[in-house]
Structure 1
Amino acid sequence: MIFADAHLHITDLAFWRPLSDGQDISPVCSCAHSEDEWNRLLRVAENYPGLVLRSAGVHPQNPDKKHMAFVLGALEKNEADAIGETGFDLYSDEFSSRVKEQEEVWALQLEAAQRYEKPMVIHCRRALDRIFRDAKKLAKLKSVVFHSFAGSDTEALSLIKRGVNAHFSFGKPLLNGNKRALRCAAHLPFDLLLAETDAPWQTLKGETATDPADIKKVYEKIASLRGENPAAVCERLYKNFKNAYGLV
């Protein structure tokens, strides 16, 4: 089966390779947020052609404008499959104190996503109002992936109604009993869903890191919520993965 992982961080992992037990495979989209991370991601991707999509972005937790240089360079060379993760993080006072910088690099990446016709991967914590503010601009993009979407199913559908070609990705919060994530994964139209691990981040209690192989647990949870056969869920979410990242 194909367990597509819509979002993780290969360069933050001590080791990564695709699932290789039996016939299971795991195409992924991995983000990089500095020139060093980007170069390391390129080297990994070269070893697994067709399995590692590469996303370059300035993360809202470190919204330093200098990182735009590597993002634009990757786009100019057509090395990047997507832009991100980018967006807003107002979860803590530390992150909120840099909201002006977040706004600046967000605007630059939004413009770049439209100019280079690339999907955008969005990180959004306690800032969904800013996403709705820019819905008209997002509607001009090729596609938008909401990594670990924290909104409600109503808010997700509202973005779709505003013309945003969005997919909503869910991961370990499903295993942690997050009510909003569970409701979205259970009730949103199937063609809007993606699965992710965010490895090595978003750990459960007692874990020190998220294993990329946990993607199977996420798929099993979605299958249970939807009352679907796991193989059918794999097939449908792989189709969504390809649609979201422009592979079809």
Structure 2
Amino acid sequence: MLTDTHCHPFDLLKIFPGAEEERRTLGVMCAASASSREEFEFNEAFAAREQNAAKLLPCFALHPQLPALYSRNDSSRRDSIIADGLALLENLAEQGRLAAVGETGFDLYNEQFKATEKIQDEIFAAHAEIALRYDLPLILHARRAMHKIFAVDRVLKKCRAVVFHSWPGTAGEAQALLRRGINVYFSFGTTILLNHKEAMRCCATFPAERLLLETDAPYQPAQGQVYSTWNDLPRILQAAARLRTEAQTPGAESNELEKIVEANFRAVFSV
């Protein structure tokens, strides 16, 4: 079975209504990210409509880019939205409606995001505390922020599972996380189709039992595309298998890799 560790159905279906049929045809089991009540409730309704299809697992967190959407003059509104979002996360976790907390983490890509680093730290700490208290996996976003990840490694070590969405690091950083005893998984998507050398090297050589695949649909489109969709998953799987074959790494044949990645997905999300 094909699995998608990270996607945004709310955004995808707005621009590509055919995605629902596409997922049903491919039989993709996926973890659906949401960062607002509207998105989460949409994903829950989508999952309910698709009861006879592969599972869609709802996830929720406040995206690390969210604080930067508000100017300094609008800080009271920003703080209110953050407080409401964390309260919603707590309620969803308490009601057993969450498959994971995410995506959360750190984004220091530009000066606008760097200016909100302290708020990102506070939001991440709240997310991690809820994930630990309710024994939920944590899905991480880290852009130009791997140093922040290592600063919270003791927290991550306590988590049931940690998933790096669109793994942004190096092979050495991945090995360091594993050496620290973190139950960490590394997800790869269209970056391995776009000639991102480090992502390709990591996907080729990481232990198969730590690999996951994703689309980040509709974001991170492959070359020549306007947006990514679930239809990209077979190509991502084939690219991962090819890279591992070329590197002579175990778990290289496409059908075998698909089964291993599915088992990893099920282990992370307890399905």
Q: TM-score per shorter chain, which class?
A: over 0.9
Equivalent pairs counted in the alignment come to 244
Corresponding residue number in structure 2 for 1:164: 182
Counterparts of 1:125-204 in structure 2, within 5 Å, are 125-204=143-222
Q: Does 1:212 align with 2:214?
A: no
Q: Does 1:57 align with 2:61?
A: yes
Q: Please say if residues 47 and 56 of structure 2, whose CA atoms lie closer than 8 Å, have aligned partners that are also in contact.
A: yes
Corresponding residue number in structure 2 for 1:82: 100
Counterparts of 1:3-152 in structure 2, within 5 Å, are 3-14=2-13, 15=17, 16-17=19-20, 19-21=23-25, 24-49=26-51, 51-63=55-67, 64=78, 65-66=82-83, 67-152=85-170
Corresponding residue number in structure 2 for 1:236: 260
Q: Please say if residues 136 and 163 of structure 1, whose CA atoms lie closer than 8 Å, have aligned partners that are also in contact.
A: no
Alignment deviations for residues 192-214 of structure 1 (CA, whole Å, 9 cap, x no partner): 10000000001234321112210
Give the whole-Å Cα distance in 1 for the aligned partners of 2:118 and 2:224.
Answer: 35
Q: Please say if residues 12 and 200 of structure 1, whose CA atoms lie closer than 8 Å, have aligned partners that are also in contact.
A: yes
Q: Please say if residues 33 and 102 of structure 2, whose CA atoms lie closer than 8 Å, have aligned partners that are also in contact.
A: yes
SS at match of 2:166: coil
SS at match of 1:53: strand
SS at match of 1:132: helix
Unaligned runs of 5+ in 2: 68-77, 246-251
**Which structure shows the bigger proportion of residues in helix conformation?**
2
Deviates more, 1:122-131 or 1:203-212: 203-212
Give the whole-Å Cα distance in 1 for the aligned partners of 2:140 and 2:256.
Answer: 27
SS at match of 1:85: strand
Give the whole-Å Cα distance in 2 for the aligned partners of 1:41 and 1:95.
Answer: 27
SS at match of 1:13: helix
Alignment deviations for residues 127-159 of structure 1 (CA, whole Å, 9 cap, x no partner): 111111111111101100000011011111110
Matched AA of 2:33: C
SS at match of 1:42: helix
SS at match of 2:33: strand
Q: Please say if residues 119 and 246 of structure 1, whose CA atoms lie closer than 8 Å, have aligned partners that are also in contact.
A: no
RMSD (Å) for aligned C-alpha atoms: 1.3
Give the whole-Å Cα distance in 2 for the aligned partners of 1:48 and 1:223.
Answer: 29
Matched AA of 1:101: I
Identity %: 33
Q: Please say if residues 208 and 257 of structure 2, whose CA atoms lie closer than 8 Å, have aligned partners that are also in contact.
A: no
TM-score (norm: length of structure 1): 0.95
Corresponding residue number in structure 1 for 2:244: 226
Give the whole-Å Cα distance in 2 for the aligned partners of 1:72 and 1:38.
Answer: 13
Alignment deviations for residues 56-109 of structure 1 (CA, whole Å, 9 cap, x no partner): 101001045232122112111110110000000001112111111111110000
Q: Please say if residues 28 and 230 of structure 2, whose CA atoms lie closer than 8 Å, have aligned partners that are also in contact.
A: no
Give the whole-Å Cα distance in 2 for the aligned partners of 1:10 and 1:62.
Answer: 19
SS at match of 2:187: strand
TM-score (norm: length of structure 2): 0.87
Matched AA of 2:166: S
Give the whole-Å Cα distance in 1 for the aligned partners of 2:106 and 2:218.
Answer: 20
Give the whole-Å Cα distance in 1 for the aligned partners of 2:7 and 2:217.
Answer: 5
Give the whole-Å Cα distance in 2 for the aligned partners of 1:223 and 1:11.
Answer: 30
